[in-house]
Amino acid sequence: MPVATMRRHNHSTKYSGLMPMSGTSLVWIHGGSLRAVNVGHLGAAVMIGRSSRAEIHLTDESVSRQHALLRIRPDGNWLENLSRTNPTQLNGTRVDTPVVLADGDVLRVGSIEIGYHNLATASRVSGPLCSYCNRENPPTQKDCWFCGTSLVSARSDVRARTPLLLRVAGPPQQQPSDVFPGEILAFDAEGKPSVVREEGAGTAQLAIVSTADGARLRYGGGHPQVKLNDVPVLGDTDLTSGDRLEIGGQAMVILTKG
């Protein structure tokens, strides 16, 4: 009995040091609906396969029982192929030796495509700061987006990496919507999403905003039907990472660092 206790203790100690997994998710389509799993909760070796013991269990004939292995290491998250009959692919290239994964990669396991998202490493380089209002501008901006002051004389050496707050992802081949500080994801009357600045977006009747512990759906009604995990939404609702939303017939999953 003490041995078992000690082993469990060792495991939890080992897993607690795996910071690179924070905000790491896999997204794929199964049976016509979008699925998302936060692999940070699954341990140091994540099996992908048709075996019922696989952490990522894919019930598809094209998938081998033990098809691919995701190894969580301090130097990154590595993908290893295990299938002899139907090798795993990464961004269209066959995986012969273990490869380290990057945010935005698309894995192919049998006939199933899986999007790899690592929010911990997703960031963008900020542009020049306005000398008048001190707001951050996109890298290619000529005049300040807020006050119109010319950015020609703005210090171009002011560059910082802005961490990603929130991602709304669709099917693996589709470009996700990334929300950075000061931005929200607003939907128009047809349910089409666009990332807009939070200032001046007060009229958005339907939007996803980042919060301290996840995200929140702002829903003012009068829009295309919205479903959260297959249940119709009637008003403002808190969202957590992995939640599935359906807006105007479009399926998407919410990904946060939590």
Residue whose CB is less far from Zn ion, 127 or 242: 127
**Cβ at position 139, least distance to Zn ion in Å:** 15
Q: What are phi and psi of 237, to 5 degrees?
A: -145, 135
**Cβ at position 146, least distance to Zn ion in Å:** 5
**C-alpha–C-alpha distance, residues 245 and 221, integer Å:** 15
Residue found under tokens 């977006």:
201
Query: Nearest-5° angle of CA 14, CA 48, CA 100?
Result: 65
Cβ(108)–Cβ(156) under 8 Å?
no
Q: Give residues in contact with Zn ion (CB under 5 A).
A: 130, 132-133, 144, 146-147, 149
**Cβ at position 155, least distance to Zn ion in Å:** 13
Residue whose CB is less far from Zn ion, 98 or 181: 181
Residue whose CB is less far from Zn ion, 78 or 146: 146
**Cβ at position 131, least distance to Zn ion in Å:** 8
Residue whose CB is less far from Zn ion, 73 or 135: 135
**C-alpha–C-alpha distance, residues 7 and 14, integer Å:** 11
| Nearest CA-CA partner of 89 in 66, 64, 110 | 110
Residue whose CB is less far from Zn ion, 41 or 155: 155
**Cβ at position 200, least distance to Zn ion in Å:** 14
How far is residue 34 from each of residues 28, 31, 62, 83, measured CA to CA in Å? 6, 8, 18, 24
